[in-house]
Amino acid sequence: MSQHLADLDSLPVKGRAPKTGYSRSEFGTAWDDAVDVQFGRNGCRTREDILRRDLVDVTLHADGCRVLSGTLVDAYSGTTVRFTRGQDTSALVQIDHVVALADAWQKGAAQWDARRRLEFANDPRNLQAVDGTVNQRKGAGDAATWLPPNKAYRCTYVSRQIEVKKAYGLWVTAAERDAMARVLSDC
């Protein structure tokens, strides 16, 4: 964890910028395959790539992309969620931006060009399949305002946020830095 603390210390600490101008569309088309840095242009939307990566016992559509069913062992809550594609069931498993798009916007992404924001929104390092209810509770929260209820996962969660923020040159607020340091001190 000392590397994660060093990485945290390397992040700039600033106040939260205004949310002025933010909308999801500023980060481009959702789940764009063209910029997926891990699975890259495989013909599948990034959401499907993340579902295939994070679920077990996956059943795929004949197209080889769309996940029809599977099981999520949700790291955020520690619960198991059965996923079945459908209008009333797909939202039970959602893809979380570990560093929320709105949070990124207020901590540096507003200054990026459209391509950089699209890459960020589709970067598998920043994406995780999670329980939909837990994801809705998180919203756009940072580590100062929201941490996974599964305390055993908090070290990994905060480490991933630090990794992503460092990779993209985003900053943290003082409260966020302090919350991250508290979590890492218990790892």
Residues 4-29 have pLDDT tens digits of 999 999 999 999 999 999 999 999 98
Which pLDDT value is given to residue 2? 81
Secondary structure (DSSP) of 98-110: SS-HHHHHHTTGG
pLDDT interval class at 132 (50, 70, 90): very high
SS3 annotation, 119-130: HHHCCHHHEEEE
User: Is pLDDT of 37 > 90?
Assistant: no
Mind listing the pLDDT tens digit for each residue in 43-70? 899 999 999 999 999 999 999 999 999 9
User: Is pLDDT of 35 > 80?
Assistant: no
pLDDT interval class at 1 (50, 70, 90): low
